[in-house]
Structure 1
Amino acid sequence: MTEDITKEYPTAYDAIVIGTGISGGWAAKELCENGLKTLVLDRGRMVKHIEDYPTMHMDPWDFKHRGKESEKEKENQKVQSRLWNGSLIKPETKHWFVDDTKHPYNEVKEYLWIRGYHVGGRSIMWGKHSYRWSDMDFKANKKDGYGVDWPIRYKDIAPWYDKVEEFIGVSGQNLGLPQLPDGKLSDPMELNCVEKDLQKNIEDQFDDGRVLTPGRVAHLTGNATHEGRSNCQYRNRCIRGCPFGGYFSSNSSTLPAAERTGNMHLRPNSIAYEIVYDETTGLASGVKIIDAETKEKLFFKASIIFSCASALGSTSILLQSKSKRFPNGLGNDSGELGHNLMDHHYAVGASAEIEGFNDQYYKGRKPNGFYIPRFRNIDEKTKQKEFIRGYGYQGGASRTGWQRAVSELSFGKELKDELLKPGPWRIGMSGFGECLPYHENKVSLNYDILDEWGLPTLDMDAEVKENELKMREDMRDQAVAMLKAAGYKNVQGFLGKAVPGACIHEMGTARMGHDPKTSVLNKYNQIHTVPNVYVTDGACMTSSACQNPSLTYMALTARAANHAAAEFKKNKKS
């Protein structure tokens, strides 16, 4: 660190929110709507809805070299390009992902850290799958003894799931399953003919509770009105930024709601690195930031702090927030800060070819496929000997076609006619498995390798273990079994390497719990020993379940922000 010459900002805020992604946007909205004057910080550049989506309307021919890049053009995003064989880092999307040379981290064990440093964060680039967790998930640690018990149950968060789903708009189908609670859903995106065929075959041929359903995704459908947004247009260009607001992002939804109150002050290019602890009051007094452009250091005062900087971002800030009272990081009496890092494991499943259905196609470019909820270790009938917890699948079917042009040697009418015919149907599914909370899976600060702002980088030290590896074999085998049972051809199972971080669902490292001796946060996401600091992003998670976690982050954030606002108003009256 350079010499700490910090300028104190004269205005004191009611609340500060660090981060503007999935969680930060919700914290800003709820705090502002409750009347709190709120400073919202983001370490990245400003991104305004619609105005700052540069490739939202571009077609393939609008890009230089049809979107192909040289190795030199890719060299600043080598880590980001390791994800999905580089399929996300293209001219139409690469501006959303960090420059790895400017934002390094250290892989003690192989780890993929996928980041977007800009206002809106990864809410612009997320996959939108939005599933509730069940009591099975909140009770899992207590049941099998891994990690610590969650301090909440489904009933505590259910009303907040309701609130979030109705505001962001989640399309899907209620199934009445105990492991996947029903929600406030709008019309599902229709399955295509092959997806419906697989759905029927699974229903007919398996008696262990397997169900195929349209994915529950945060895309607007139906007749509900969402201010400033319109229904999904089936363009499937979501990751570029949607000018219609068809899917939920902070930029199109929560941040505009916060701004409408007149209570939000949004400050981009503000790298938060320390939450300051006041020894006299026993509370946090504010946040120190570095201006990303000028490198000036500023201190902002507030009564309430919400850290929503992402699981690893928040934990990095807490670890750097050292004082005489907390020499190992703010609120780290338990020693658990930085530990219990989780991500889902995937890159496992199966694919197949389908004969028939050649007279059927589909309209539009549906940005969604199907979902098969967890069906393992639900009850005694589905209990597995080889592993605990479970997994679900996401997948889809489509018609191949244009790839066949590559090997053609002739030109003219016959070639054109052939290219206009849709190719055969293919289907695939990939499993998403739960990772157990292992204390030894961790992140820590590295003061020997600093970033360009003089801040310590993170060492990543995490791996999947035996339970996940056994689960992965079953994930592949059952995907193969379902496709074969449907009578599909050339069924191919795949079992890739499970690299933590690759699912972009990093969780844990500042977990919730009952006991300050074994956890960092309480049931309202407050630091046990510093109650005016809330952490509501992925860092707070006590276990990982197998469902996509973003809906749960949002519900926990809405719940915590309303708790914070009520406590703030109570304290003002007293």
Structure 2
Amino acid sequence: MMTTFKHEVLVVGSGAGGAMAAYELTKAGINVLLLEAGRNYDPVKETPMFKRKADAPLMAAGNVDKDFGYYDATVDGGWTVPDEPYTTDEDSEFLWWRARMLGGRTNHWGRYSLRFSEHDFKGKSRDGLGADWPFEYSDIAPWYDKTEALVGVCGTNTGLDDMPDSPPGVLQPPPKPRVPELLVAAAANKLGMKAVPMHRAVLTRPKDDRAACFYATPCGHGCSIGAAFQTTTSLLPMAQKTGHLRVITDAMVKNVNTDADGKVTGVTYIDKNRNEAISLTAKVVILAASACESARIMLNSKSDKYPNGLANSSGQLGKNLMDSTGAGLGATIPVLRNRPRYNEDGHTANHLFIPWWGHEAQANGELNFPRGYHFEIGSGFGEPGAWVSGDFKGYGESLKDEAKANYGASVYFALRGEMLPNPDCYMDIDPTVTDKWGIPVARFHWKWSAHEINQVAHGLETAKALLETMGAEVGDLPPAEQAIAKGGQIIHEVGTARMGASSADSVTNQWGQTWDCPNLFVMDGGVFASNPHKNCTLTILTLAMRNANWLAGQLQQGAL
């Protein structure tokens, strides 16, 4: 079948960016060949629906082979992947998550789907730090509308300046708040904040051939009914139905190929099953393998024309590496102890969250850090696992009674904040280490700046105030330098091939088209010019839809 299929575009990666690009191009009648480094994956057959933690080894707790637990949908990936090392310099600590499977991280992600706002796209214009995006919020807003409608996002319009509204009828209804979340909302209101419905890519109403969520299985396990968005139950099968998509799995791309004039001609990949190098040609190549994987491919695609890596005349390739800041604080809330038991599962993640409220304070110079954060909330009657929260003493019946009293009585605030790019955070290629297939590996350099440390310190103090307002005893806070998550631990790494308005200081233009190679595009988080505190997948999807639509027009006009 592959010998008779003539593709125009090669897409590398089947996650949010790659699958959306393939969907948009095939919808326009363009033949696409998609390469995925991981194995094939069928969530309808492989999702462990209705499986209980009690039935799994270690009560389904995480380990080095399954970081997020026994049932997590990431089947062959994580922060460590067999045969695929990466390195860090001696003064750095960075964790690089890879999801080696069809659909990539979309099979297990949190599905938090928050729009970036006008504040987020023009941060440098506001405070002089980082870089602006090469377009306004108004330019991308219609594409957010289309993406939310296609993906299926539940939530409400809040009217808050950190959460741009969606048009009427786009958002699906959110699930009802849980009792602990209502208590958080009351505490937040007392402290001048708002707790509002989280926007999630989870269907609460049926859509096309995907069912509505019926609150049966944690979203991180994957979703066989398609209610929780992942490309393997939506964009990929939709693109395949057009007849214009072919997919090759277990295809580890080694490098992008160029001719003597420096024009991109295709890619070389390793067939992992046969350990064989295969070269393919294409009119256009789209890299959407994840920010650091796409940058690794480009840095490894050296030639006489591109001695420092492909499309790297700006010197920015691999630079501007960012992750979200992360920290957390929780406590037992006395009023929630011994409350009546009932089904409080919902769509497994928080139904309410606290968006950033401090734009005005920052504009007035009242805070010692420049960018915002939000709080995700952990609470409710979750399924018991290997660990029970609380400071328990004793044994026997009294210990059991104490554990039962505290069940569902804890509230945990997970801070997720914006990081600014800094010269100490970047990736390059290790000069000596290669993976199983002889491909040079990524090397990471990382150091949080004072901006992020001060932000986390403020967030911990705020979380403590919220918990104490609800009646908890919190105690002393850890130093922010210790509390902040490691680089890469939040799995929101972006920025390694950032877009911009000039080829002097960016790798791509606003369409994800590299300045140096007009027929090479980047359509993953690598193009992000900044890393707002909001989870990045919705914007990766939206940019890929917008930019693939523009690319389709260029191909149809014969411009490429």
TM-score normalised by L of structure 2: 0.90
1:352-386 per-residue CA deviation (whole Å, 9 max, x = no partner) reads 41315855554252212121111123356764341
Structure 1 residue aligned with 2:56: 63
Q: Does 1:322 align with 2:316?
A: no
Q: How does 1:215-294 map to 2 (within 5 A)?
A: 215-222=198-205, 225-280=206-261, 283-294=263-274
- The answer as to whether partners of 2:185 and 2:194 remain within 8 angstroms in 1 is yes
Gaps of 5+ in 1: 1-7
SS at match of 2:280: strand
Distance 1:93 1:529, change over 3 A: closer
SS at match of 2:23: helix
Alpha-carbon distance, 1:160 to partner: 1.0
- The answer as to whether partners of 1:352 and 1:488 remain within 8 angstroms in 2 is yes
Give the aligned residue type for 1:451: D
Alpha-carbon distance, 1:437 to partner: 1.2
- The answer as to whether partners of 2:376 and 2:414 remain within 8 angstroms in 1 is yes
Structure 1 residue aligned with 2:375: 393
State which drifts further: 490-499 or 463-472: 490-499
- The answer as to whether partners of 1:16 and 1:306 remain within 8 angstroms in 2 is yes
In 1, Cα distance between equivalents of 2:107 and 2:97: 13
Alpha-carbon distance, 1:101 to partner: 3.8
Gaps of 5+ in 2: none
SS at match of 1:235: coil
SS at match of 1:44: coil
- The answer as to whether partners of 1:29 and 1:257 remain within 8 angstroms in 2 is yes
Give the aligned residue type for 1:519: S
Alpha-carbon distance, 1:526 to partner: 0.5
Structure 1 residue aligned with 2:103: 120
Which of these residues, 173, 179, 190, is aligned with residue 156 of structure 2? Answer: 173
1:456-493 per-residue CA deviation (whole Å, 9 max, x = no partner) reads 01110012111111111101011111222344445775
Distance 1:245 1:491, change over 3 A: farther
Distance 1:306 1:489, change over 3 A: same
Q: In percent, how many aligned pairs have the same letter?
A: 30
Structure 1 residue aligned with 2:128: 145
- The answer as to whether partners of 1:513 and 1:521 remain within 8 angstroms in 2 is yes
1:195-222 per-residue CA deviation (whole Å, 9 max, x = no partner) reads 112213322x234xx2101221111013
Q: Does 1:309 align with 2:302?
A: no
In 2, Cα distance between equivalents of 1:404 and 1:202: 23
1:2-36 per-residue CA deviation (whole Å, 9 max, x = no partner) reads xxxxxx98964111110001111111111111111
SS at match of 1:328: coil
1:470-517 per-residue CA deviation (whole Å, 9 max, x = no partner) reads 111101011111222344445775551431101100011100011101
Q: How does 1:132-531 map to 2 (within 5 A)?
A: 132-183=115-166, 184-203=170-189, 205-207=190-192, 210-222=193-205, 225-280=206-261, 283-355=263-335, 358-366=338-346, 367-369=348-350, 370-378=352-360, 383-399=365-381, 403=388, 423=407, 425-490=409-474, 493=477, 495=480, 496-531=483-518
Give the aligned residue type for 1:275: V
Q: Does 1:533 align with 2:513?
A: no
In 1, Cα distance between equivalents of 2:15 and 2:382: 35
1:328-347 per-residue CA deviation (whole Å, 9 max, x = no partner) reads 11110000101010001112
Alpha-carbon distance, 1:177 to partner: 1.6
Q: How does 1:20-31 map to 2 (within 5 A)?
A: 20-31=14-25
SS at match of 2:461: helix
Give the aligned residue type for 2:224: P
Alpha-carbon distance, 1:56 to partner: 3.2
Alpha-carbon distance, 1:126 to partner: 0.5
Alpha-carbon distance, 1:550 to partner: 0.7
State which drifts further: 286-295 or 485-494: 485-494
Give the aligned residue type for 1:159: P
Give the aligned residue type for 2:440: P
1:144-180 per-residue CA deviation (whole Å, 9 max, x = no partner) reads 2333331111111111111111111111121112222
Give the aligned residue type for 1:512: M
- The answer as to whether partners of 1:352 and 1:491 remain within 8 angstroms in 2 is no
In 1, Cα distance between equivalents of 2:370 and 2:520: 34
1:108-135 per-residue CA deviation (whole Å, 9 max, x = no partner) reads 1100112210111111111110000011
In 2, Cα distance between equivalents of 1:50 and 1:492: 47
In 2, Cα distance between equivalents of 1:551 and 1:131: 7
SS at match of 1:50: helix
Alpha-carbon distance, 1:416 to partner: 9.6
In 1, Cα distance between equivalents of 2:407 and 2:440: 52
In 2, Cα distance between equivalents of 1:396 and 1:246: 21
Give the aligned residue type for 1:277: T
In 2, Cα distance between equivalents of 1:212 and 1:427: 14
Distance 1:318 1:419, change over 3 A: closer
SS at match of 2:46: coil
SS at match of 1:477: helix
TM-score normalised by L of structure 1: 0.88
Structure 2 residue aligned with 1:555: 542
SS at match of 1:274: strand
Structure 2 residue aligned with 1:5: none
Distance 1:475 1:537, change over 3 A: same
In 2, Cα distance between equivalents of 1:128 and 1:186: 14
In 2, Cα distance between equivalents of 1:547 and 1:198: 20
Give the aligned residue type for 2:133: W
Alpha-carbon distance, 1:534 to partner: 1.3
In 2, Cα distance between equivalents of 1:360 and 1:381: 45
**Structure holding more strand per residue:** 1
In 1, Cα distance between equivalents of 2:20 and 2:476: 42
In 2, Cα distance between equivalents of 1:474 and 1:417: 36
In 1, Cα distance between equivalents of 2:492 and 2:224: 26
- The answer as to whether partners of 1:318 and 1:330 remain within 8 angstroms in 2 is yes
Alpha-carbon distance, 1:408 to partner: 8.2
SS at match of 1:239: helix
Aligned residues: 544
- The answer as to whether partners of 1:315 and 1:338 remain within 8 angstroms in 2 is yes
Alpha-carbon distance, 1:255 to partner: 0.4
In 2, Cα distance between equivalents of 1:334 and 1:159: 31
Alpha-carbon distance, 1:387 to partner: 1.2
